[in-house]
Amino acid sequence: MYHSFEDLEVWKRGCRLAVEVSRTLAKSREYYIRDQMQRSALSIPSNIAEGSERDSKLDYIRFLRIAKGSAAELRTQCYIADKMEILKHDDATRFTGECKEIGSMLQGLIRAIRVKSPA
């Protein structure tokens, strides 16, 4: 059992990913995709945190699903940034892999919350 969202490994990984994406794209001149990718990355841990502070399990699950959607959104943006040579291929591969793992972790957390207690 955890006491705070800061205890969740998925939140920690989301934060690390947001920092890595922001640092990697910091000097990119492609503002439109840089901004969108940074927003998607930041949305992952932010929604985990916001949902955990809600008063209902259904709200928490809703925010976890939003975080999962943001991870999928960032994956798509990484594929596009890779093809456009905005991201190095190795960075894109690393980021998409981390998004997939975070998405799986979020799905596991959603299942655990659903099983553990009713809304």
Q: What share of the chain in percent tops pLDDT 70?
A: 96
Domain at 39, CATH number: 1.20.1440.60
Angle at the Cα of 30 from the Cα atoms of 24 and 32, rounded to 5 degrees: 105
Q: What is the mean pLDDT of residues 45-55?
A: 95
Does the reported pTM lie above 0.95? Answer: no
- How confident is the model over 40-50, as a mean pLDDT? 98
Q: Fill in the amino acid letter for 60.
A: Y
SS3 88: coil
Domain of 81, in residue numbers: 5-116
Mutual angle of helices 31-52 and 57-83, in 10-degree steps = 160
What pLDDT band is residue 2 in, cutting at 50, 70 and 90? low
Calculate the average pLDDT of the chain: 95
Residue with tokens 């596991």: 108
Report the domain count for the chain.
1
The stretch 63-89 carries a mean pLDDT of 98
